[in-house]
Each structure stands twice: as C-alpha cells, then as structure tokens.
Structure 1
C-alpha cells in the first residue's frame, strides 16, 4: 500500500486531511470496514463516520465524491428540493440503499430515511416524488395550530391535572390510558411543556406557570447547551491526571502534592490544604478574604516558595474555579498542575483523608476567615507531628526531615 500514515498526530483541521479522506474512501471501496480504514489511515473513527455519512462539524454536508450528484452548485439547502426527491424515487426503484442515496445527494442518511418514511404513500407505501413534495409543502407553513389549543376537552384535562401537581409526563401517560381509543386526546409531554413555556399561544392559562404548576417552579424554560457549545472551564487548557507521570502513583518519588479547599460557613470563607503524597506532610494555605483565582494563585506561590526545588514536582487539584490561574502558578512556581476528573475525589485520596482530619480543628459551619496565618501554621505543625500507621508510625515531619537531610 503506497499510502503512508501521517506522523504528526496533532489535530490538523478538516481542510488539511484531503489525502487521508481520499485514502479512506478508497479503502472503503475495496471492502475494508470503516473502523479498519480509519486505523490504516490514522484518523479517529468518528472522523470516518462523519465522512461516510456526509456530515461535518460546520454543518455543511459533504459525503464521499459520488459519480453523479444532483446537488445545486450553491450547495444543499436546508430542505429537500423536488429534483432531489425525484432522484430518491428513481434510486429506490433501483433497490439502492438509503446510505448510498444519501452519499449521492450529500445528505445525512437519516434525512433520506425520514423523508421516505414521512412522505411515502399512506396506503401503498410507494415513494412518489411529486406527491411527497406536495405533502412537505403543506406541512411547512408556520405557525401551526396547537393540538391543545384546538381541543377544549384536552386542554381542560391537562389544566386540571397540573393543578394537582402532576408532571407533564404523568399527564401524557394518563391520557393514553384513559383515552386509549381516542388519538386526538394523546399528546407527548414536550407538547405540554411548550404550551406552558411559550407565551402568547393561550393553550394553557398563564396563571399555571405563575402558580408554579411545574416542580421546578420556573415560568421560563432554562436552555441547555450542547456539549460542543459549552465553554471551557478555564481560559488555559487543563492537563488531566491521566497525563501525570507514572512515578506519582507509587509514591516512591517525593515532591508530588495534592491540593483542595475546606469551605466555611455559607461558602464565604476557605482554607487551602496541601498534602505531599510520599510523606503525608501538610501545609495550609491562608485565604483571609476570598478564594478567587488570583488570590489562590498568589497564596499557592507564596506557600510553595518555602520548599526546595526537588520537593516541587507537581500539584494535583480538582476542577474548582479557584484554580482558574493555574497556568500562571505553573510558570511562577515551576510546578505543573494536573486536574482530576469530575466527581472523582478518590484521585486525591491523601488530600481527602487529610481534610477529614482537619475538620477536628475547623468544624463545618464556622467562619474560617477568623484564623490567622500563625494559627494555621500551628495546626499544620500539630498534624505533622502525629505518628501515622501508613508511615510505620513515623510522623510526616520526621519523613520530610529525612528527605531534606539527604538532599543536603
């Protein structure tokens, strides 16, 4: 095979994968599976799936280069055109698969299958392009009359059960059971939500929303972003714990720390906690006013400056907002920061255990801002003087002293 798998594994973008794309489709034409073709070319299987199905992240549709395409020069429109429907009908008579038709039209396979399912003849099941076009045109005008607004009996039933604090899903299931032989009384729960949240339609009285008919108590819908639309947690990219050196796991090499916060009353105050993984040595970070990213950065830099270089190898933290300036801390302290996975406190087990010990000194529900720097140092010194079973009953202070002595 004359194609060479690319050596550079960094993302190159859609437009820079022309050779890989052509090789992928050549392998597919030879009978290779999509997964095997992706492995040979050196691309992610999702990339191959997007190419094969004719989708890419920008929203345009570009499938494999077909022999004959009916797409207009300006590119596919949002809706299927009549000439595309004629092409679908012709290829269906030739027993061509839905995926092949989609590739030829530059559409998603789901678009073609949905078109055939919705617009075929209701009796014979045949797909007739001109009738399908007429059905699509008649279905398109907006706004459409609501099913709830056109049926007073249905509207009264829904209003009555919303007053009883029923959820929309409970109501729609009750409708199906109570009126099993009357499809005009069947709605999905999303239809009820739309009638409640979309103002101005008048299907359900606005007082229902004001009376907190829904358990959330919201009078307006809360939008949820798609995963690809969410903003990154920090301005600088995180380095995840999976990329942390293997030497950290067995605790044989000192200088790797775990960090977190213990929070005070009403989340208004906090104390930073640092634990060295090998010796279990504890240092407390003074945060007298707030725990903003800037304050946390400066406090961590000040605390870490007291350590020798060989005891500043790495810091592992959770994804709290207080570490928003982690990249600046890394540069100033020459100490990389690794982030745990969400909801995974066991990845900082030593720190979680230490926080439990510190609650003897700082119980939950108290104001932590009243504690001075000197008091925090005294608490840390007392904790470091406790013998630990995991250290063969030596103390963290003794273990750290041994490390400092050997380094000198």
Structure 2
C-alpha cells in the first residue's frame, strides 16, 4: 500500500515544501515539478552516488525527457567541504551551460547539501537548489532553512550564504543504507529540537529510543517531520538568524570548535560533536545558574542512551578550543555568545559569557 508522504510547508519570502517518506527518489513527477528550466546538475559524493544517482537520474528522465542532466561527484567527508571543491561545482555548472533557470540537485548528506547549495547561491547570483538528503542529519537540519557554506582551516561554515532550497525531498528509504553511527549522529540533531523547543518531543524520543535506533520507518518519519516542523517555524520567522533562529545552534559553538580543532578529517563527526556540545552547553548553563544539575544530567544520560559521545576527546586542548570559539560566527565584538539551556524545551541566547566559566567547563569535560 502506498503511503502518502508527510508534508511540511515552509513559508516566509521564499516558500518551499518538504516531502518526507519512502520511495520518493523514484517519484519522477514529484522531482520534475521542482525544476523550472532545462538544465540540472546532480551533485553527490563517492559514497552516495553509486547507490542512488542512477535511480534519481532515471526518474528525472522518465518525467522530463528533454532535461539536460550532468553529474558532479566529490570525495566523501567533511574534509571535502572546501573552497576548492566548491570551485569544481561551479566549473561543472559552466560545463553544463547552466542558465538562470537551471537547478542544482544536492544528493547526499550535509557536506554535499551545504556545498551544492552554496554553488547554487553563487552561480549567476543565484539559481534553484533542490535538496535530496541521504542522511538523517541532513533531513532534519542542513537541508532545511537555507544555510549554505564551506569550511576553511580557521573554522566551520565561515564562507557561505543564505539560499533557501526550492524543495526538499527526503526519501526515508535511503536511511536503510546509512551506517548506524551516522543514524545516531542524525538523532543528535533530532534530540536538539526537543531540548530547546519541545519538552514533550524530548519525552517521546526517550520513550521510542530503541525503535529509532533500530531504524523503524514510521518512527523515523515522525521524528523527521516533527523536527522539520520546528525548524520551519523558526526559520519562517527569522530567515537570516537575526533573532530566535540562533537557538538552533544549541551545542554548535562547542561542537564546531571540536570539529575545527580535529581538522574535520577524523575524530567525532558533526552529530557527535553537537552531542558533546549540547552537554557542554548544559553544563555551562548549570555553572551560570541557568539550569539545574539534574536537567543537565538527564540530557547527558539521554544522549548516552542513543549511543552518542558526551565528553571532549582527550587529545583536544581546552585552551585551543576556546580560541576556536572566538572565531565562531555566533561570537560578537563584545565577547562570546552561547545558546544556553533553561530547562527541557527552553533555551536562551546569552551574550558576553565569561571566558573563565567556559574554560572551566571545557577542562572538566575531558
């Protein structure tokens, strides 16, 4: 029996639809409705393209036979999200002869989505990008909201643009080929929404931990839809992160510093780093008398139940991590700014956080 996809509509100045469900990668009509012109560049990576690029291209050709399609495949991994690789996507668009009504189709995880979206934002000052996320993390986070970027050695996502997608098509069947570690990493971002916005969702996640880790299709679709609804509501109200959208960075100031200090090539992946970052943010909130120790302990234990790390890798230096945070996008001229925790389902943006308190939390977490 065909189950209709779950739909989340994102409003604001550039509205788009998020479609969630199994089998969407083969729905050529759905895919074709997102494309306005006659050129499409499929951007993917060396892990995802062999699994799904042929299916995606075949579905597009069935529905739109006159479409000019090219593929561009990059190596997999966060270390590949560079200005150099961004340049190769631009060159691929040029080779295709992509016009102003062309589309970039980002088939992959967050690295592919961020880099392909940034290329779409820059080619001819902005063409359409259709996000086809292949990981849970990308389905609930990076594909939604229009943040695109690449990394540089000094920090993560420091070069980029706001560029909302034309559509997001999340085929949950693609999660069946996702390694368990990557599934857990995506669940870290799902837990984030419960932690900062919706205490009842946090309780739901705790109750369904085993089923989610086992890859239950219905549970994962519910978790994705609820996460996207929360992110869509915030990004509609604050598309350029001038206010409450910053709350979505809960755990990310610490997490991005960990990723940057690792050099992106090894160690914790993004979701794992964010899991550690959420615990550190909760402990900093506790140190500043904003949250209770019991709440911080509960969040840490929940993340551990989902198989996620909650401590800083021993090889990383606390002072070096603090130096990374000073270059974070959320930092202001007056000092460090963090998303801190009030309680389950509530968070706050806090400016001018005392560096000594941050350093103390970092040193205690190793």
> What is the TM-score with the length of structure 2 in the denominator?
0.23
